[in-house]
Amino acid sequence: MGEAAVLLTMVKALVEDINQIQQRGAGYYRPRDFISKYNSLLATARELYPDDRLLGSTMSPIEETPSHDPADKMKDVQKVILEAGQLIAFLKARMGSEAGGEKK
């Protein structure tokens, strides 16, 4: 399994973890952990594809909202889910183009 495939699996796992923890209630988790992990995965994708303008111009690290309000926490986590979905789509497209065709 190549580096991009491993990274893709890790981003998907992050989204699954977020969904599982969110079901337990917005007040019982810290968005900081999810944001930190997403930012780390994004940085790894940038290292893997340093010359890709799409990655550089459309995705940026997420900053946490300093709040203990469950609604603010949920908004931060939704940002991570949205951006992680975009990173998943990016990685799938790049992996498909590198293989000479599109992968699903």
pLDDT digits (tens, 9 = 90+) for 13-55: 999 999 888 887 655 778 899 999 999 999 999 999 999 988 8
Structure tokens at 87: 């990173």
* Separation CA 37–CA 51 (nearest Å): 22
Average pLDDT over residues 66-74: 84
* Separation CA 28–CA 21 (nearest Å): 8
Task: Annotate 55-90 with DSSP letters as a single string.
Answer: HHHH-----------HHHHHHHHHHHHHHHHHHHHH
- Determine the 3-state secondary structure of 42 from DSSP: helix
| % of the chain with per-residue pLDDT over 70 | 91
In this prediction the pTM is 0.86
Q: Given this model, what pLDDT does residue 100 score? A: 64
pLDDT at 65 over 90: no
